[in-house]
Structure 1
Amino acid sequence: MIAFDEAVAILKARAGTLDIEEVGLNQALGRVLAEDVIATHRQPPDPRSMMDGVAIASDGAEPGQVYHIVGTIHAGDDADALTLDDGAAIRVATGAVVPGRARTIVPLENYRIDGDRLTIVERSPGGRFMRRAGADFDMGERLLDAGSLLTPAALALAAAANRASLRVRRRARVAIVASGNELVEPGQPMSAGRTIDSATPMITALCSQWNGDALPSVRLGDDAVAIETAIERLSEQSDLIVAIGGASVGERDHLRPAARALGYELVFEKVRVQPGKPCWFAARGSQMILGLPGNPASAFVCAHLFLNALLTAMTGGGRDASPLSGRLIGGALSSGNRRLFARAKAWVEGGQLFASAFADQDSGLQKVLGWSNALIEVPEDSEVGEGDEVAIHLTGELG
């Protein structure tokens, strides 16, 4: 049995980085950039008005001053078509190019108009409300670094840089295999001794969040030959196999023996964490299998600890899975000789992150799993109590 940190380090070292592909901006959300995004123009390209108002050539305007309106420039118009002389004013819309010689934008609430005669009614300092050319970014400026996670805001910046497509790391092809005679697909009739397979849709959804595309899932009974055949077939179709269940050493736990029979190296077979001790990892060259416990709560915790780390490394980084620091509310937590990851509810109050662990940490309780949005980490042989600072891994949205 190996330590948690050692298991994570092994997964990151074994994960090969996936190929690069070019995708349109609408397909790039959540992907990891494989190139720097460099500005090919300055933004804005010309000085722009920040307000609806008028442009004047003088350095500021005082109440009582009168100007003659000579034209209007809307956003998208060519400002060179109009000349701004002393004593003249040109109407400008927000975002419009500022005409040459303009030194001040007077907001519309600072003047009144009578025909083409404009009278200043409130002082407007010089140089106000004019956004200079290149105020946002200059030509040649690096806007996004390779390895960045493409958020909606990052995609807006790439679009502003006039990029219609981006080079990104390919999403991982993940084959999900669930084993056990007891498993029933959700929506099917129940019968004695059967269990609804809730782990497969959960792991499928997590893969999608972490730049993985799950192949059609495979549910297998406790048949050693069928399991071995499926693993060999899926090894050729995927970048990673995630095996759910069959992680113990019972006479019907065939997954690890099948992997070994197919030439996979069992890199580790147990991890010093709770829940999730039976988590295992095997590799055959570039082909990999991550084995998760069949218990959905244990599978969920191990997915956040290990599958996330593996997929992040494979798809080029971009995500910081480091825990946040917060305060424990509620009863004490004790880890024993395995690092504890307790399902919890986390929230922010007064700018401080808090978390409260659910009283019953039985890994068979899926209601607790469904209600949690965090894992509280407690190091081996440690105990934390009310008000103590703890490491909090967010697994959902803060309430």
Structure 2
Amino acid sequence: MPHYPYQHILLNKRGDTLFASAANSVFVFSISGTEATLISKWTDQIDPYYGIRKHHKDLMEKYEREQRELDEAGNNEKKQKAPKMPIPGPGAPPTFTYIRGMHLTRDDTHLIILTDNDKAAVVFKVNPLETGSPSSVLRLVKRQPFPKRPSAVTTSLDDKNILVADKFGDVYSVGLLDTEIQDEEKMQPLLGHVSMLTCIDSSVDENGKECVLTSDRDEHIRVSYYPKSYVIKKWLFGHKEFVSKFVLPSWSKGKVLVSGGGDNFICSWLWQAKEGGELVSQVSVDELVKNYLGDKHLVPEKFQNENHDFKEYCVSDIIPVDSCHKLAFIFERVNALFLFDLKDDGTLSYDKTVDTDADIISGTVSGDILILSVESEERPIVAYKIEKKGDTYDIRQIAGAFQAVSENRVEVQSDDSKQNVPLFTVGGLRKRREH
């Protein structure tokens, strides 16, 4: 059977540990030079029909409560049959159990994963391998469900709280180390957008006040104070389509924000500017990306042009490369990585393109090592060395690196592609207009 590619990969800051998720499993590898060793694996055992069973349980509790009230009133004529457990039929949408996202706390001591089926954030303490057996590398702290499905996660600047953004546009805060599970039905959001949230991060403004930054399925980037996040500091306007990703590169001391999404351009901002978020650069990427587009980028027939050749693309991730002050842009279902230089003043300029043998799914970097997950059965992991040459940097592929990462994966359980965990979902954020 074929194997799932890695949907998410994540290096810690020291570059000696790689976290990789495939389907409903998280693999932990120790990294030394160009060698990788599997040291731990966690597989989510949640019931695939957890959501259906929970909904049925809620209906049963309501039914039993209403029946007791009817019994007490002596009104047996209005009694109804108990609700049945809904069993998905052959034509029902597939039920997935997979990892929607991964995030390391700022001090690299905890791993937070987002699950799809039970709408939860699962928190693990990351223990050094030398402290015990491989099975103790990831120690479960808690599994916190949320009212709606999480779509992005970060932590407060002190790492004391997890900030979870969801598909309904709300942000919730829970204690990182608080082992008590909150009732998701009683949780109150910190802030809300009117559409699905796509990215979240924390920083400080020009006055040193902590802020939470959020982007959504519309064209909005919002800056709110934290923890009183109902107070909006400003909006960053400049995108026309959804914003899928933004980053705050460390070398700009948090002053510069770079964003991308469904537009044919990417943006950089001096978001702390007192007069509002100053848009510094709006760089077109059409000429760079168009030669890599194929039939998989064609829009649905009902939205096509007369020539039936209209294609769309979007940014799926942005990777800050601290060692050379560059940003690596991943475009969904594109077999190339696009590097841009970012100056401290927010100026963004194209540097080079790195072709890959397969479409890039995810990427991560630490120091001078860049690792990509690609849609390939034979070589699902590709690694690069970033080398300084005079005033420039060279990106050199490392042949045969991290072989153990490629060898330890999850087998695909179905030949039906519709039943398999989705790899490329960012393009689905695009809102299409009928007229």
TM-score normalised by structure 1 residue count: 0.24
Which of structures 1 and 2 has the bigger CA Rg? 1
Structure with a larger share of its residues in strand: 2
Q: Which has the higher contact order (CA 8 A, sep 6+)?
A: 1
